[in-house]
Every structure is written in C-alpha cells, then in structure tokens.
C-alpha cells in the first residue's frame, strides 16, 4: 500500500454521515487490523493507516490552528508520537479515539509552548488566547455559504470548536471526546450545547429563503 493513497482526496461527507453510508463497523475493523499489523512491524500497514487517518487529523489541526504549515508540523509530531507509543495501543480498541487523543495532546502542547503557558492551564485559559480566525460577520456578504459556515465554526472558542469537530465530523460520542480531551463527559456535553446554540444563532440568517 502506498502512502500516496492519502493524496488528492475528493471532498468527503462528514464523519457521521460517512459512517452511516459506508458503515462504521467495517471501517473501524479495517483500522484496527491495520493498527495491529503496524504494531507488529508492518510498514505497509502504517502507510495504509496514515492514508486513512492523516487527512482527518490534518483537518482537525487546521480547524484548531489557522496556519497550514503549523498544522502539517503538528500532524508530523502526532505520527512520531504514535510511532513511539504504538506498543501501548490496546489491540482491538477503536483506533480513531486513540489517534485523536494523541493529536489533542500535541495541539495543547503546541498552544502551551507558543504562549509559554504552564502545564496546568485548562481549556478556559486556552480559550482566552488570541484567535486569528475571522468571525462570520467579518466574512464578506458575497462569500459563499460554506465560507460563512466555516467562519461561524472558527469563531467558536477553541474548546467548543474541538468538541464540535470531534462530535460532528469525526462521529465520536461525548464519552469518547471526553477521553480524547481528558475531560468529563458532562463537561463535554455542556461545551457542545453551548457551541451548537452559538452556531444556531450564527447560521440562522443563512437559512432565510433569500440567501
């Protein structure tokens, strides 16, 4: 399997929709089998796993940080950590939550390094960091609807944006997201509720018939 399989992905449907169409069981089983083979030293399995997951991980980093080059660096760091920790992967466990847990740590480590924060800072403090993403109101009116929706998501506080991304686009449950982010399921649920309420307000004008 060539790692180049990861290139040139056409636009795909969101994680949850994809699960419904393709079937999450088969996909997850494939990833578990690939992960097991990779842990056993199969380089081709690593390439296939990379091809299957890297575009989604990169999208996660791009959602979290607007700098494409930095997102690529973080993706590289994630796979370096995955490689170092591959023997700690519990065989048969879902692969994506495990990968996203590592990616979430890489993201937070980068934020702490960038803003010279102590390792004890929580998401509330991370949310207060400057965010360069323009809000939906700053996007020109003539911009297409997708751009305005993306701007609405990007305008969410980082801790809510991550939850929406993992919930809606990766199809993770609140419990899985809690495990990924090291937060309680209830706290994740509250973040999701706040995020969707904010998104509803931001997207409501786009639902009007003349748009």
Partner 1 sequence: MSHLPPEHALTLVALDEGDAERQLAYAHAAQCPGCAALLREHEAMLQMLDATFAPAPISPALAARVQLRVYPRRWPRLVLLGVWLASLALVLGGAATSDVLAAGIGAHCALVEAGFAVVPVGVGAWLSRAGRVRLDPVGFASIAGAAGLIGQVWLRGHCPVHGAPLHTFLFHFLIVLALSLLGGALGPRIVAPRA
Which residues in this chain contact partner 1 in the complex, by CB under 8 A? 3-4, 6-9, 11-17, 43, 46-47, 50-51, 54-56, 58-59, 62, 71-72, 75-76, 79-80, 83, 145-146, 149-150, 153, 167-169, 173-174, 192-193, 196-197, 199-201, 203-204, 206-207
Minimum distance between the CB of residue 125 and partner 1, rounded to whole angstroms? 25
Neighbours of 86 (CB within 10 A): 15
Q: Which is nearer to partner 1, 49 or 126 (CB)?
A: 49
Minimum distance between the CB of residue 93 and partner 1, rounded to whole angstroms? 20
Minimum distance between the CB of residue 107 and partner 1, rounded to whole angstroms? 15
CA angle 165-170-175, nearest 5°?
85
If you write DSSP's letter for every residue of 18-32 in order, what string do you get? Answer: HIIIIIHHHHHHHHH
Q: Which is nearer to partner 1, 11 or 88 (CB)?
A: 11
Beta-carbon contacts of 5 under 8 Å, excluding residues fewer than 6 positions away, are 47, 48, 51
Minimum distance between the CB of residue 72 and partner 1, rounded to whole angstroms? 5
Q: Which is nearer to partner 1, 8 or 130 (CB)?
A: 8
Minimum distance between the CB of residue 129 and partner 1, rounded to whole angstroms? 22
Beta-carbon contacts of 89 under 8 Å, excluding residues fewer than 6 positions away, are 35, 39, 95, 98
> d(Cα 203, Cα 109) in Å, to the nearest integer?
32
> d(Cα 161, Cα 177) in Å, to the nearest integer?
12
Q: Which is nearer to partner 1, 111 or 203 (CB)?
A: 203
């Amino acid at each position: 399997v060539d790692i180049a399989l990861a290139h040139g992905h056409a636009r795909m449907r969101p994680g949850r929709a994809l699960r419904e169409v393709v079937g999450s069981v088969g996909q997850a089983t494939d990833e578990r089998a690939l992960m097991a083979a990779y842990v056993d030293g199969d380089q081709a399995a690593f390439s296939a796993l990379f091809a299957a997951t890297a575009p989604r991980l990169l999208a996660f980093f791009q959602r979290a940080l607007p700098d494409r080059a930095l997102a690529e660096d973080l993706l590289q760091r994630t796979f370096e950590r995955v490689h170092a920790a591959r023997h700690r992967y519990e065989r048969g466990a879902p692969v994506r939550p495990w990968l996203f847990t590592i990616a979430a740590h890489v993201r937070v480590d980068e934020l702490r390094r960038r803003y010279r924060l102590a390792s004890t800072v929580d998401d509330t403090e991370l949310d207060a960091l400057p965010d360069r993403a323009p809000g939906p109101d700053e996007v020109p009116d003539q911009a297409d609807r997708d751009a305005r929706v993306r701007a609405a998501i990007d305008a969410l506080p980082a801790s809510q944006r991550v939850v929406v991304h993992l919930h809606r686009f990766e199809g993770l449950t609140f419990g899985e997201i809690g495990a990924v982010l090291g937060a309680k399921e209830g706290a994740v649920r509250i973040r999701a509720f706040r995020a969707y309420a904010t998104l509803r307000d931001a997207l409501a004008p786009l639902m009007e018939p003349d748009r």
